[in-house]
Amino acid sequence: MLDVQPTHDAGGAHAAGPDGDRQPLLAVEDLHVEFSTDAGTVRAVEGLSFSVDRGEVVAIVGESGSGKSVTALSIMRLLPARSGRVTRGRIAFDGRNLLDLDGEQMRQIRGRDISMIFQEPMTSLNPILQIGLQIMEPLQIHLGLDEAQARARAVELMRLVGIPDAERRLGQYPHQFSGGMRQRVMIAIGLACNPKLIIADEPTTALDVTIQAQILELMKDLSRKLDIALIVITHNLGIVARYADRVIVLYAARMAEQGPAEAIFHRPRHPYTMGLLRSVPRIDRPGGARLETIEGLPPSLAAPPSGCRFAPRCPYRIAGCDAQPPLVATDTGGLSACVRTAEIAAGSIAWARAAADAGAKAQVAADQPLLSVRGLTKHFVVSTGLLGRAGRVRAVEDVSFDVRPGETLGLVGESGCGKTTVGRLILRLEEPTSGAIRFEGRDLLRASEGELAAMRRKVQVIFQDPYSSLNPRMTVGQIVGEPLRVYDLAQGDAAVRARVGDLLGQVGLRAEMAVRYPHQLSGGQRQRVGIARALAMEPSFIVCDEAVSALDVSIQGQIINLLEDLQRAHGLSYLFIAHDLAVVRHISMRVVVMYLGRVMEVADRDALYREPLHPYTKLLLDAAPVPDPTVEKARAPRLITGELPSPLAPPEGCVFHTRCPLAGPECRQAVPPLREAKPGHHVACVKA
Amino acid sequence: MAVAEAAPAPAPAPASPGPAEAIAARSRTAALRRFCRQQPLGAVSLVVILAMMVAGLLSEVVAPYDPLAIDFAGILSPPSWQHWAGTDAFGRDVFSRLIHGSRTALVIGFASSFLGSTIGAVLGAASAYFGGRIDDLIQRLVDILLAFPLIVLALVVVAVLGKGLVLGIDVNLICAIAIPIVPRVARVVRAAALSVRVMPYIDAARAAGYSHVRIVFRHMAPNLVAPYLIMLTAHIAQAILLEASLSFLGLGVAEPTPAWGLMLSGNASDFFREAPWLILFPGLAISLAVFAFNLFGDSLRDWLDPRFKL
């Protein structure tokens, strides 16, 4: 079946030779990967072919379950041994078919010629080994360096990836490094043996926006400088736009489209790519209009549809879509798996505009605030060291804002800025150290038990993680129906069942879903159940804590639209806590920017994004990637240098002065108060 | 892999309001049939446990001989068609004594393990849920109890409480064996509860303003079933053996009452070279019981977990 290459050069003399420049560094041909699961055989990758040239940056984009990580693991031959196997295909790396190598030969390639950077820098370093040892290990194993040589090279590598004070930090342990620094260490380990190819699986997903930009900039820079090919696997289209030369779009185990980055973003030739680009909120465009989403869910790979995988969700579906579409060359120099590619290229079909009623935002009515937060402060006492010397984490410090009825207030900031704590304080899941929270004019902190119980119902929450926010032992019907029974909102089983069906309908689920357990639902469906549970209480205010950030791009758009529809239908107010500036721009009416527990800036959405006043806001907006290669490549990102200071010992004066480009001596003197720079635009900076 | 969509759930169609009892009965037999199909090992162990229960309840009917009848003519006779498991040093039928002993084993073993594990689980869950002072208090008590070996603690309790026979069952003995189990289960359940406590669905329940009792019993407890069942079944074995040790020391069940532990540890140890069946069959009975309870606990745990249902 396979034209097996004679691989006599097994021993190690793997001189690629000068002719290596002619052929691509990596050529994946007709790759098929299967997994055996309890539910039967799942074809995780089907017929995937692509190549990567030396020094090229290729992005593989796709939603969860599209097969992008499986592709990476297949190249590394790291598929789970029992359940996963490559059933067909060829992976030629530097002229050798990796699938023919034995374990020992493959081990020599891993880490030496191909290295991999994983998503989670917190868990992919061994916590009990010094950083130095972990960087030196591949050098000693693969290149046979002695201790001193390896140490010298490790120091060099750490400088290369921008870790200051390298000699000293070699002896430190992973917990002494921040997330961004750990990812730099991972990159240093990846670079250690001068690999020809680095595969980065979601390398920045776990990092903050500002750190994310630093890491991506570093990777792109290194790949160019050292002529390393880079495969970036991601779901974030913004990252792709800034860094990739070529983009491969996967959908449900098959390639939907591939082509040069410019073409994919400006002239997509596959309906899935078109839909994906449209369903992402854009930070550089004013929000307000309804997001145009791809309806439906990705298919199950255990029972995929015959023919085009995307057809069930595709607005241009025609009879010819019942057969599996071949990959055809597009006018943009790429490939597209759509039978109507030519028509799309000719512009004779375009993505249908969403319903025209868009933009009709809920009206913010009264000027009497629904929720009013004043001087909210939360300190966590932590004990450090053996003797339990108590330290104070200043999670939230003197935060004030109002939320008006029917309004969406965005709350943005990097991890550790205290935004989630603010949400938990409002929900009374934590007791504030000081400050006041008034809801409908009544003080939540001094409310009696009875008043609090009534208030609980009015203030609800939607969590980030749809996997852990639903009790796995309860059915959807029990989860949504519980508040109805406890608060006696529906009398009798029949009434409860009817109301549960009604609520599920409101969030776009079928009433039959009530008998299912959470694990039988997809991520987007679970999030809808979470929303239905909140709605069951008949609340007037909902805290959305990163409510869409764990969802796939096409599902994210659906949920955002749902939240906006519900707001209009029920006059809800949202506190929308998020780190994704684009999503916040889309959904919010006003935005609060937090940094290290303090409010930096409060303004109307458009004013904030058009002319941010606080230097932190400016840098934050600069760091956020935009899914548009032309915009991305035109602007020189001003990176925020440095790391987030520890909230255990926040800087004196303005907390941002350690990273602020404008900081002067006066910034270290006193905490700048939040002042009204323009009508409705508050900023906490003496220079702005 | 997301298998979420595919398998059509074994959807018990939303029961239309009708003769509710008939539906309940039908679904109960259906559930039993489903249990047997999905958990064959569990079904086998359930049969063994049921057999033990029958033997224990109807031992007078089932046993071929009177377990106390002494027959000096036939002492230490090996297994035969008359005496399936041989006779002991007093000529008593070992098989009949095993049948009668299953009552003691079930009552003492199961009751004390159930009592100890349940109290331990409630303490552990409360300790984790409330945290702070309550946690400190409960955990220091647990520390104190853990400082004593199982047998010593049970000894002390029996010595202090003495005998308290209710319906021929020594309630104080059950308590004595249950108390040392409490701290061990409390520790394990607390650890599991700590991780459940920080799950967002518990936060959601708190944000909904539900009472503590509701959150602990409705939201946390079902997610603690796995460690609870494992500890419960594992301690049944411990309890049977502990009862045997106490009996050997003269503080548990006393001769001539038939009890597995007593049969294993009593005068059998003097004769086992000549009459190995004296220890073989009680030993087998204990192993079988322990094995059955463990397997049944495992299958019950899997079966109760909705994540194992497709």
Residues of A in contact with B208 (CB under 8 A): 456-457, 460, 482-483, 486, 537
Q: In what order do the strands lie in the sheet with A442-443?
A: A389-403, A371-384, A434-439, A442-443
Cβ-nearest to A453 among B204, B205, B209: B209
Query: Are residues A68 and A553 in contact, defined by beta-carbon separation less than 8 angstroms?
Result: no
User: Is the confidence at residue B297, as pLDDT, over 70?
Assistant: yes
Contacts of B14 in chain A (CB under 8 A): 497, 512, 514-515
**Residue of A35, A429, A469 with shortest CB distance to B1:** A35
Query: Do A522 and B14 make contact, defined as CB atoms within 8 angstroms?
Result: no
Query: Using one digit for the tens of pLDDT, what is the confidence trace for A615-672?
Result: 999 888 887 777 777 777 776 655 666 667 777 778 888 888 888 888 888 888 888 8
**Top-confidence range, A269-283, B130-144, B285-299:** B130-144
Contact by Cβ (8 Å): A243, A37: no
pLDDT at residue A532, as a whole number = 92
Nearest to B3 among A37, A424, A429 (CB): A37
Is this complex's ipTM strictly greater than 0.95? no
pLDDT per residue as tens digits for the range B61-89: 877 777 777 777 777 777 777 777 777 77
User: Rounded to the nearest 5 degrees, what angle is found at the Cα of A490, between the Cα atoms of A485 and A493?
Assistant: 75
Look at residue B131 and tell me whether its pLDDT is greater than 70. Answer: yes
> A386-390, B31-35, B146-150: which range is least confident on average?
A386-390
Q: What's the rounded mean pLDDT across residues B101-110? A: 82
Which residue from B minimizes the CA distance to A297?
B5
Q: What is the pLDDT of residue A18?
A: 44
Residue B242 vs residue A585, higher pLDDT = A585
Predicted local confidence at residue B267, as pLDDT: 65
Q: Is some CB atom of chain B closer than 8 A to the CB atom of A210?
A: no
Can you list the residues of chain A whose pLDDT is less than 70?
A: 1-22, 39, 121-122, 286-289, 350-367, 383-390, 635-643
The CA distance from A530 to the nearest CA of chain B, in Å, is 9
- In whole angstroms, give the CA distance from residue A665 to residue A653: 10
Residues of A in contact with B209 (CB under 8 A): 452-453, 456-457
Contact call for B200 and A463, based on CB within 8 A? yes
Q: Which of residues 446-475 of A touch B (CB under 8 A)?
A: 452-453, 456-457, 459-461, 463-465, 468-475
Predicted confidence at residue A10, as pLDDT, reads 38
Query: Which of A430, A519, A527, A529 should one mutate to test binding to chain B, selecting the residue with the greatest count of B CBs within 10 A?
Result: A519
Quote the CA–CA distance of B238 and A511 in Å, as a whole number: 48
Segment 203-262 of chain B within 8 Å of chain A by CB:
203-210, 214, 218-219, 222-223
pLDDT beyond 70 at B10: no
Q: CATH classification of B40-72+84-309 is 1.10.3720.10, yes or no?
A: yes
Query: What is the predicted pLDDT for the residue at A636?
Result: 64
Q: What was the pLDDT predicted at A575? A: 93
Cα A369 to Cα A22, A438, A441, distances in angstroms: 67, 9, 8
Query: With 0-12 CB in 10 A as exposed, 13-18 as middle and 19+ as buried, what is A679?
Result: exposed
Chain A segment 305-364 residues within 8 A of B by beta carbon are none
Which residues touch A602 (CB under 8 Å, ≥6 apart)? A401, A590, A591, A592, A593, A674, A681, A682, A683
What pLDDT is attached to residue A353? 54
How far B8 CA lies from chain A's nearest CA (Å)? 9
pLDDT at position A210, please? 74
Contact criterion met (CB < 8 Å) for A301 and B1: yes
pTM: 0.77
- pLDDT value of position A20: 43
The token pair that represents B3 in the structure block:
């298998």
Residue entry with tokens 């004990």: A383
